[in-house]
């Protein structure tokens, strides 16, 4: 099928069963497609299969049944998995697993070892750390950095070999709200400027709202999919469901006098809110 080629990631009836006695269906017939350059969030309660899905897409684990196609290529038929991983996928995990005895720069160099000369590695690591706003922290050890800074080092490391795909498992999980928002701003910027495809597992709605599409998992299945609008559309959508938004749209009472708006202003507001609702959920 040539059709598969247009997707960066495609899964077909992906199933992962753990255990041989009492079996756990961590993934249950998952069919999904993610296009090149998309920024996608995967949400869902703990144990719903998010990490399993990410690990199988990144070829860190194998499905019990079903297939994963990356760039149209069937992962189960791939001979050089290590090469695939280092060229195609960058991983960013919640526990950023930086090597504690290496500096930020050296950590970023790790995925490039054996693939570039020491000089090239160093230059690339410096460029990446600059890009994530850590130009002045290159020679710090992980324990000399804040959680947010360590996570940015992990993002830089994930980007080291310029992979088309970054898989991030709860990258903001250990960060406070501000640092989490900052990391998402960085991911959005990289997504825009490098055209990297990101799949970000999170259970934070504020993080998911920063993406373009949210896949919601439950019991190993994708049970829902939401498309995220622009920040303005999202704000309007929220506003639409406030008491005032509802009253405006449903025209339950005459708000003209209460709001001190003209008829025309009121109608405009109503139209905008109605449109926000059609575009969204
Ligand atoms: P999430 O990331 O959404 O919290 P996981 O993908 O980690 O969920 O887990 C999905 C289900 O599979 C859970 O019930 C979990 O306990 C089970 N599971 C995950 N990894 C293993 C494993 N290595 N062995 C046995 N069960 C596992
Ligand atoms: Mg998980």
Residue recorded with tokens 């949400």: 43
The answer to whether 13 touches 63, Cβ cutoff 8 Å, is: no
Neighbours of 175 (CB within 10 A): 22
The answer to whether 69 touches 75, Cβ cutoff 8 Å, is: yes
Question: Is 126 strand, coil or helix?
Answer: helix
Closest ligand to C-alpha of residue 222 is 1
pLDDT band at 173 (very low <50, low <70, confident <90, very high): confident
Q: What is the pLDDT of residue 252?
A: 60
Q: Which two tokens stand for residue 248?
A: 């405006």
For residue 53, the ligand 1 atom closest to its alpha carbon is 6
The model carries a pTM of 0.81
Report residues whose beta carbon is within 6 angstroms of any ligand 1 atom. 18-19, 24, 26, 44, 46-52
What superfamily does domain 3-228 belong to in CATH?
Answer: P-loop containing nucleotide triphosphate hydrolases (3.40.50.300)
Q: How far apart are CA 257 and CA 254, in angstroms?
A: 7
Closest ligand to C-alpha of residue 173 is 2
Q: Kindly list the protein residues that place their beta carbon closer than 5 angstroms to ligand 2, a single-atom ion.
A: 51
Q: Is the pLDDT of residue 242 over 90?
A: no
**Environment class of residue 97 by beta-carbon count within 10 Å: exposed (0-12), middle (13-18) or buried (19+)?**
middle
Q: How far is the CA of 49 from the centre of ligand 1 (A)?
A: 6
pLDDT band at 253 (very low <50, low <70, confident <90, very high): low
Domain boundaries, the chain: 3-228, 232-279
Neighbours of 93 (CB within 10 A): 18
What does residue 128 show for φ and ψ, rounded to 5 degrees?
A: -65, -40
For residue 49, the ligand 1 atom closest to its alpha carbon is 6
Over residues 33-92, the pLDDT tens digits come to 999 999 999 999 999 999 999 999 999 899 999 999 999 999 999 888 888 888 899 998
Looking at ligand 1, which residue's alpha carbon is closest to its atom 15?
47
Which of 79, 61, 28 lies closest to 169, judged by CA? 61
């Amino acid at each position: 099928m040539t059709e598969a080629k247009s997707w960066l990631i495609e899964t077909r009836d992906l199933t992962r069963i753990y255990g041989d006695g009492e079996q756990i269906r961590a993934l249950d017939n998952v069919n999904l497609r993610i296009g090149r350059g998309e920024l996608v969030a995967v949400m869902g309660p703990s144990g719903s299969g998010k990490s399993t899905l990410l690990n199988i897409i990144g070829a860190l684990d194998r499905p019990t049944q079903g297939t994963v196609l990356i760039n149209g290529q069937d992962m189960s038929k791939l001979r050089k998995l290590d090469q695939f991983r280092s060229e195609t996928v960058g991983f960013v995990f919640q526990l950023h697993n930086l090597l504690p005895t290496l500096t930020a720069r050296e950590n970023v160099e790790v995925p490039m070892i054996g693939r570039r000369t020491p000089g090239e590695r160093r230059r690339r690591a410096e460029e990446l750390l600059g890009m994530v706003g850590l130009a002045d922290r290159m020679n710090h050890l992980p324990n000399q950095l804040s959680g947010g800074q360590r996570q940015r080092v992990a993002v830089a490391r994930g980007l080291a070999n310029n992979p088309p795909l970054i898989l991030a498992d709860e990258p903001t999980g250990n960060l406070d709200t501000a640092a989490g928002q900052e990391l998402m701003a960085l991911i959005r910027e990289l997504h825009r400027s490098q055209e990297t495809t990101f799949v970000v597992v999170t259970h934070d709605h504020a993080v998911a709202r920063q993406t373009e599409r949210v896949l919601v998992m439950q019991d190993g299945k994708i049970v829902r999919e939401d498309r995220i609008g622009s920040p303005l559309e999202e704000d309007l959508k929220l506003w639409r469901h406030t008491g005032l938004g509802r009253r405006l749209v449903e025209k339950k009472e005459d708000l003209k006098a209460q709001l001190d708006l003209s008829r025309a202003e009121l109608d405009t507001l109503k139209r905008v809110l109605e449109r926000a609702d059609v575009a969204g959920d």
